[in-house]
Structures are given as structure tokens and as C-alpha cells.
């Protein structure tokens, strides 16, 4: 599944919920670190949507212990339904075997970076995207927005790195940055994430429940037919 166009991921730790989001999601982000018996769930999975497997460690805002974390994620990558895996930038830089081993299982690799307290300056933000893109197929960067200028910098970084030929996903976490989850696709972001309505308090601050986010994005698409395919980015985004 090469993600050249925008895809909306429904985030859950329960794969049996796939049927409830099939009408609005393009892919499932399976949070293995928050799941009960994740490999058994994958074995029993009979849904129609492909899966992003994520097994986030405690150091990176997840719940998985380091021991066996990557082995479990690697086992998940062997399932046919798993088309993408999420690996932290710090993990990719610090563990030589990870990327070659995962690529042998024919999955795309999302290299992710999270900053839970702040948003770096624009040049630093773009450098982080570039580092993620160096290791992975998609560079995912999520930072916490303390104000609207932080959100604008994220959108600017998504816009610029997309123009530079990178496949990126950019998110501003927190209530102030919540709107970026709706508009980021207009500037080139290839992936959006949203929890199920029943799970919305389990995940990142500022997330919008899946059906609501899907509706908001669809409304934007209908506003201007030229935006409906999310293939272009704005010429007029303000420099921040």
C-alpha cells in the first residue's frame, strides 16, 4: 500500500472494531502496545481494511516495555493484513537490524517523531521530517502546539517538505493544534489519525473522533473540487 494520497487511519487497540469504521477509514492503526493479545487479534483478523501496526514504547508515549517490543512488531509485520509499521526515529537510528529486517516482510515503514511538550522552530521541524524520511517511506512528525503559531509552523513544514518530494504526515497535538488534523491534507500530509468515538480519551490530546474528522475533511473536499484529491498544496501559506 503505497500512500501517495491522503488516507485516514482509525486508531484502536481492538481489531474487532474495524467493522464500525469501515465506512469512514482507509486504514486501521492497530495500537499493539495497548491491545490484549495483539498477535492473536491479528491471527483472527478478517476485516477489509489494511493495518498500520504500532507498538509504541513507554519512552515514546506508549505502553509497551522495551523487552520484546520490536520482536512483537516484527511478528506483526508478517501478517498479510499489515501493510505498514510505525517505528520511532530514535529506534531506527539506534538499532541497525530493524529496517532491513522489516523491509523483507514487504511492509512500508513510517518513521515517527513525537514532541509532547513543544513545537520546534521551522528549520528544526523540517530537519526532523528529513531525518524521518531518510529512514522510512513516510515521515510522521507530531508535536505539541502551545499556540497558533506552533500550528502554523507545522503546516508550513508539511507544505515545504511535501514540495521537496517527501511523503510526510504532520500533526499538531493539543487542543490548539486540533484543527491541523483537518487541514493538513490540503498541504500534503499523507496520513491522518483519529480514534473511535469510544476510545477518544485513550489517545493523543486534541484528537477528533473518526466519524467527526472524516465528515470535516469531506466538507473541505466539497468546498472546492480542486482540493478533492488532496494532490496539491497551497501556494499562499504564510511564512511563520
Catalytic residue (one of 34, 126, 140, 190): 140
pTM, 2 dp: 0.90
Stronger pLDDT, 177 or 239, i.e. the higher one = 177
Q: What is the pLDDT of residue 188?
A: 96
- Grid cell 477489509 in the structure block, residue: 48
Task: Specify whether the CB–CB gap between 54 and 31 falls below 8 A.
Answer: yes
97-148 tens-digit pLDDT: 899 999 999 999 999 999 999 999 999 999 999 999 999 999 999 999 999 9
What is the architecture of the domain spanning 7-227? Alpha-Beta Barrel (3.20)
* pLDDT confidence tier of residue 3, bands split at 50, 70 and 90: low
Determine whether 140 is an active site residue. yes
> What is the grid cell recorded at 105?
516482510
Residue ranges for the binding site? 29-31, 56, 181, 207
Helices (H) and strands (E) in the chain, counts: 8, 8
List the grid coordinates of 39: 498477535
143-202 confidence digits (pLDDT tens): 999 999 999 999 999 999 999 999 999 999 999 999 999 999 999 999 999 999 877 566
Torsion angle of alpha carbons 221, 128, 109, 181, nearest 10°? -30
Tell me if residue 148 is catalytic. no
The whole-number average pLDDT for the span 1-7 is 74
DSSP code, position 57 = B
Q: Residues within the annotated binding site for 3-dehydroquinate?
A: 29-31, 56, 181, 207
Amino acid at each position: 500500500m503505497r500512500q501517495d494520497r491522503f488516507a485516514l487511519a482509525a486508531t484502536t487497540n481492538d481489531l474487532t472494531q474495524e467493522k464500525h469504521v469501515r465506512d469512514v477509514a482507509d486504514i486501521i492503526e492497530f495500537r499493539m502496545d495497548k491491545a490484549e493479545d495483539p498477535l492473536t487479534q491479528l491471527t483472527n483478523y478478517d476485516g477489509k481494511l489494511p493495518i498500520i501496526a504500532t507498538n509504541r514504547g513507554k519512552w515514546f508515549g506508549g505502553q509497551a516495555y522495551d523487552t520484546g517490543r520490536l520482536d512483537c512488531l516484527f511478528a506483526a509485520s508478517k501478517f498479510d493484513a499489515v501493510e505498514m509499521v510505525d517505528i520511532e526515529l530514535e529506534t531506527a537510528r539506534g538499532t541497525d537490524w530493524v529496517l532491513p529486517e522489516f523491509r523483507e516482510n514487504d511492509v512500508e515503514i513510517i518513521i515517527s517523531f513525537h514532541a509532547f511538550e513543544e513545537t520546534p522552530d521551522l528549520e528544526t521541524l523540517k530537519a526532523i521530517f528529513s531525518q524521518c524520511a531518510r529512514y522510512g517511506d513516510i515521515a510522521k512528525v507530531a508535536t505539541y502546539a502551545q499556540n497558533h503559531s506552533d500550528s502554523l509552523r507545522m503546516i508550513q513544514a508539511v507544505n515545504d517538505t511535501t514540495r521537496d518530494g517527501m511523503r510526510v504526515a504532520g500533526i499538531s497535538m493539543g487542543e490548539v493544534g486540533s484543527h491541523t488534523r483537518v487541514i493538513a491534507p490540503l498541504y500534503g500530509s499523507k496520513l491522518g489519525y483519529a480514534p473511535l468515538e469510544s476510545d477518544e480519551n485513550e489517545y493523543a490530546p486534541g484528537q477528533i473522533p473518526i466519524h467527526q474528522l472524516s465528515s470535516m475533511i469531506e466538507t473541505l473536499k466539497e468546498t472546492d473540487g480542486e482540493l478533492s484529491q488532496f494532490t496539491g498544496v497551497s501556494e499562499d501559506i504564510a511564512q511563520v
